[in-house]
Amino acid sequence: MKYCSHCKVDFSGDLDTCPLCQRPLTGSPSPAVFPHAAIVKPQKLMISFVFFGSGAAVFTMALLCGLGVIPPNIALLVSGVVVANGLFVRNLIVQNPGFVRGASRYLLLLIGLSLLCYLLTQADFFTSLVIPIICLSALAFDVLLLLVRRQHFAAEFAKYLICDVICGFIPLVLVLLGFSHWPPLAFICAFCSAILGLFVFVFLRQELFGGTSKLFNA
């Protein structure tokens, strides 16, 4: 087994760096429980699948629009969201920022795309359901990482944790501004965000402030 002294986690398989923090692992490798098949040029293959899926979705929207199944503005909006999502995923694959950073950035992207969809369609579905569910997913993701990594997550990923807590109040703000007419999920999201923020401030404020101070240091 290989061991990450930073995350305090053991890993099986022939790994050189920790999948969570990208730091070097120590110890001797052991056979993985589920061995990975060798793939030639995995990054290029993944990018090809992303572009293929995005292109297929755009062509499907064009076909449905041509057949009169969906209006042109909806087809154009969905195609734009698909293209933006594909480019962002491609950027994550190329830069490889790590699982935690990649997932956090992706959740923030989904919130931004949902707000854009609402501005273009004025559909209450986005403000009442989609955005609160995405925010709750981000908060659940943060809670899981806090349980697994404790102080290390608050110290290293402070900016993502702060962003997720702030974004948790977005659905409530939309309700107060009259953009959402079904508030239960917004109230739940704001409550969970407040509880998470209070927990971090009370129990992990030193690690959080230490990680936040790094953002302002050159």
The per-residue pLDDT for range 172-199, each reduced to its tens digit, is 999 999 888 889 999 999 999 999 888 8
Q: Mean pLDDT over residues 123-130, rounded? A: 85
Q: Tell me, what's the pLDDT at 153?
A: 66
Whole-number average pLDDT of the chain: 78
Torsion of the alpha carbons at 83, 88, 93 and 98, rounded to the nearest 10 = -150
Half-sphere exposure of 63 (CA within 13 A, CB side): 6
* pLDDT tens by residue, 64-100: 888 887 788 778 877 888 888 788 778 777 776 677 7
The pLDDT tens digits of the residues spanning 30-43 come to 655 545 444 445 67
97's CB contacts (< 8 A; 6+ apart) are: 105
Per domain, the residue ranges of the chain are 1-33, 124-204
What per-residue confidence (pLDDT) applies to 195? Answer: 93
pLDDT of 212 strictly over 60: no
The predicted pLDDT at position 38 comes to 43
Cβ neighbours of 151 (radius 10 Å) = 15
